[in-house]
Amino acid sequence: EDKVVQSPLSLVVHEGDTVTLNCSYEVTNFRSLLWYKQEKKAPTFLFMLTSSGIEKKSGRLSSILDKKELFSILNITATQTGDSAVYLCAALKGGGADGLTFGKGTHLIIQP
């Protein structure tokens, strides 16, 4: 059975701190790993990672994939209260089938 496990499930830090969110996966026919930020109802796309060891960056956010150890991390530096959200990790299978398998998310709370 495919599964995606995120840790920690919740995290409370102070503004300005750096956080690292973890995602491990066991998915047959793995193709890519995606990170989403979910505020209120709808997730918004952050990164898609397909190649191992290549860091993707967007402002204060960065992410990297390790296809040998089957995990990815999402880093957020100099956190701001607006970063408070649930961060979802999802594994995409190849072959155009089955869609995404999501983890349960990490609930990140940034305190001022």
Partner 1 sequence: GAGVSQSPSNKVTEKGKDVELRCDPISGHTALYWYRQSLGQGLEFLIYFQGNSAPDKSGLPSDRFSAERTGGSVSTLTIQRTQQEDSAVYLCASSLVWGGGTEAFFGQGTRLTVV
Residues found near partner 1 in the complex (CB under 8 A) = 4, 31-32, 34, 36, 40-45, 48, 50, 88, 90, 92-105
Output the six-digit token pair for 92: 């995409």
- What would the two tokens of residue 17 be? 């701190």
Q: Give the residue with the Cβ less far from partner 1, 85 or 105.
A: 105
Q: How far is the CB of 16 from partner 1 (least distance, A)?
A: 29
Nearer to partner 1, 31 or 60 (CB): 31
Q: How many CB atoms lie within 10 A of CB 67?
A: 15
Helix, coil or strand: residue 73: strand
